[in-house]
Chains A and B, each alone.
Chain A
């Protein structure tokens, strides 16, 4: 088995795919903690549908690299959704639902009307659930993904304490002079970037899983923001690696395999958290 793995790893495109997968998993699990705690999980889900609509438009327009359209559109929607979420009079959750199903419907419609591809349902399926295989990533994808993930991780490290501040208590943060609006904007833009990146790996329907599962798993066991963040990042990366390797050997779709591993990990962490609680009661 190891010989076979070594054989696969001797190809540069396999190595690239693994690198990209790990980076994406790292970014999404880092920001996932904030997203879950700020009750923004649904925004991640809505944005992924918007990204699907944008991809449909990009493929109709026959753009050579779809990311250059999808990224700005998704960032724009992230900013709009965040604005709606902070204003109580316009219901933030209804707006997300509207935007996400609307984008999904128009995306599919556009793909149907203008499609020149002979395998339409295959195209749609891979956009929704990720490529059949991560091994089809192009070099541009790999470079763009790597650069953006490094930027996301840097932003997270630099703004780590600010993110904690505006997540834990936004009113206090505002009152004591922290520019909460600015940091919320940074969080929204970063989320949009992560979602577009993760599309390549797991497809638009499964992105939320990549973002929220590691964070939720970590929260079962750990009690401080720092330890939850670290644990979430490690869990996200390990699950992504296991998922990708399994999908190479078992020839399963990479996105759903990774998410399946994430769900299993969540089960393990929940059990661990339960045992930990029991141990504390006994002690």
Chain B
């Protein structure tokens, strides 16, 4: 049974259609990369999957044991966060908010869980440091720990390596791969096709031509070949 299955989905803002008639499915344990050029509608699709904007047409069906609020979301950085005074522990703990309903304070086990996730991401040493003073890679680890507090099942990562240097990018990819190996379903938005074909099990390519299928099929498909070779010709990584 698919954790998320998307049928004939059309997404967009108000009257502007960004993407039409998407069909794809994510099974437990998959690592899906959503690739496409800038402006192809990747972010709009993410917002629709998360329920931040309503689908214009079609269906997003969640498996019975996965509610929408159990998607651990790693958003792109916002301006507000760049000068926000918040300690790492405060940020990680806020991952539990979605499940708390009206309960005002955190439980002891939630605090322990947050500590455990910080250890898992290797950021325990910074627990009391200010989020904005950390490096880009460290900040992404903090947001990953927060997402893991919100879910055990599925992470949705929106361009997680934007602005990171190559070494840190590599580290973050390995970290995500290790979470995948532990059984967490991963959906990652990326324009880094090389990494996508290296780590993902499935690819959703959006743009002029839409493709969805396993990584192997993508490498043999027309959009896959064109996109990969195009990137190489332009000398991009």
Contacts and interface: CB of A to CB of B under 8 A. Distances in A.
Interface of A: 37-39, 157-162, 164-165, 167-169, 171-178, 219, 222-228
Interface of B: 47, 50-52, 67-69, 71-73, 75, 78, 80-81, 84-87, 90-91, 93-95, 97-100, 104-106, 128-130, 133, 146, 150
B86 A176 contact: no
Given A178-B97, A178-B98, A223 B146 contact: no
A25 to B, nearest CB: 20
A37 B78 CA distance: 12
B85 A177 contact: no
A161 B69 CA distance: 18
Contact of A176 (B78, B81, B91, B97): B97
A172 B73 contact: yes
A167 to B, nearest CB: 8
Contact of B98 (A39, A158, A177, A226): A177
Nearest to A174: B52
Contact of A225 (B90, B97, B106): B90
B146 A225 contact: no
Contact of B52 (A162, A171, A178, A223): A171
Given A176-B73, A176-B98, A169 B78 contact: yes
B106 to A, nearest CB: 7
Given A172-B146, A223-B87, A225-B86, A177 B68 contact: yes
A219 B81 contact: no
Contacts of B72: 176
Contacts of A167: 80, 84
Contacts of A224: 85-87, 90, 128, 130
A249 B86 CA distance: 40
A169 B79 CA distance: 10
27 contacts: A37-B84, A161-B97, A161-B100, A162-B104, A165-B94, A167-B80, A168-B84, A168-B86, A169-B78, A169-B81, A169-B94, A171-B47, A171-B73, A172-B73, A173-B98, A174-B50, A175-B52, A176-B69, A176-B71, A176-B73, A176-B97, A176-B99, A178-B97, A219-B85, A223-B87, A224-B86, A225-B86
